[in-house]
Amino acid sequence: MSIQNNINAIRLHIPSRAQLVCVSKFHSNNEIMEAYQVGERIFGESKVQEMCDKHETLPKDIQWHFIGHLQTNKIKYIVPFVELIHGVDSIKLLEEINKQAQKSDKKVKCLLQVYIAKEDSKFGFTAEELVDFLKQDILKDFEHVSVCGLMGMATFTDDKIQIRNEFKSLKSLFETVKMEFFENIAEFKEISMGMSHDFQIAIDEGSTMVRIGSSIFGARNY
C-alpha cells in the first residue's frame, strides 16, 4: 500500500471532530510530501533537531506537533514555530516553555500528558498529581502557555479491554478537570489519544486527536 492509500483508508475511520496527526518521525521529507499532497497538514515529530530540519525545508503551511519527550534546554529551538506540544509532563517544562514563548512574544499551545498505562516506560502526571498541580492555580502565571487539553498513551498490549479502560480513564479525567478548572476556557478541549494499533478504540472513547505513524508511513528504521 502507498502512503496515500494508507491515509485514505485511515481517514474513513476518523470523524470530523477529530484531527489526524501524521507521525512522520524518522521518515523522509519525500514521504511527508506524499501525505502533504493528499491534503495532510499536521505532522508529529519526536526529536527537536529532526523537527527543526524538516520545518526548514518543507512547506510553511505545515503545522508541526511535538509529540516526544522534550528536554528543557531544547525548548527554545521549537517555540518559534511549533503548533502544539503534546507531552508536557512537569511544571518545570511548563515554566521553561512559558519563558521561551515570552521571548518569542507568542502563546504556545500545550497538552498535559497523563500517565494512564500499566507499564513503567510512559511519561506523564498521574491523575492525582495533575489535580494537585491544577489546584495550586499556578497556570495563571504562565501567560504565554495555553493549555488545550490532555494527552495519554495506552499500554502496548493486545488486550483491547484494557486499552479501552485506559482511554475511558483519560476521557473521564478530562471531563473532571474541565469542569473543575477550565470551565470557561474554550481552548481546553483536546484529548490526544490513539496511535496506529489502537486509534479506533480511542475514537470510540472520545479522542479529538489521533497520532498515527506506522499505519501511514510503514515501519520505522531507528
Ligand X SMILES: *Cc1c(COP(=O)(O)O)cnc(C)c1O
**Site for ligand X, rule CB under 6 A:** 23, 25, 46, 67-68, 153, 195-197, 211-215
Residue with Cβ nearer ligand X (68 or 106): 68
Helices assigned H by DSSP within 1-152:
3-11, 29-37, 48-57, 75-78, 91-103, 127-135
Residue with Cβ nearer ligand X (46 or 98): 46
How many CB atoms are located within 10 Å of the residue 75 CB? 21
What is the closest distance, in whole angstroms, from the C-beta atom of residue 25 to ligand X in the complex? 6
Residue with Cβ nearer ligand X (26 or 138): 26
How many CB atoms are located within 10 Å of the residue 71 CB? 10
Q: Which residue is nearest to ligand X (CB)?
A: 213
Residue with Cβ nearer ligand X (13 or 135): 13
Residue with Cβ nearer ligand X (67 or 88): 67
What is the closest distance, in whole angstroms, from the C-beta atom of residue 156 to ligand X in the complex? 9
What does the alpha-carbon distance between residue 43 and residue 193 come to, in Å, rounded to a whole number? 15
What does the alpha-carbon distance between residue 47 and residue 197 come to, in Å, rounded to a whole number? 22
What does the alpha-carbon distance between residue 218 and residue 54 come to, in Å, rounded to a whole number? 19
What is the closest distance, in whole angstroms, from the C-beta atom of residue 65 to ligand X in the complex? 10
What is the closest distance, in whole angstroms, from the C-beta atom of residue 180 to ligand X in the complex? 26
What is the closest distance, in whole angstroms, from the C-beta atom of residue 69 to ligand X in the complex? 9
Q: Which residues, at least 6 apart from 195, have a Cβ–Cβ distance to it below 8 Å?
A: 23, 153, 210, 211, 212, 213
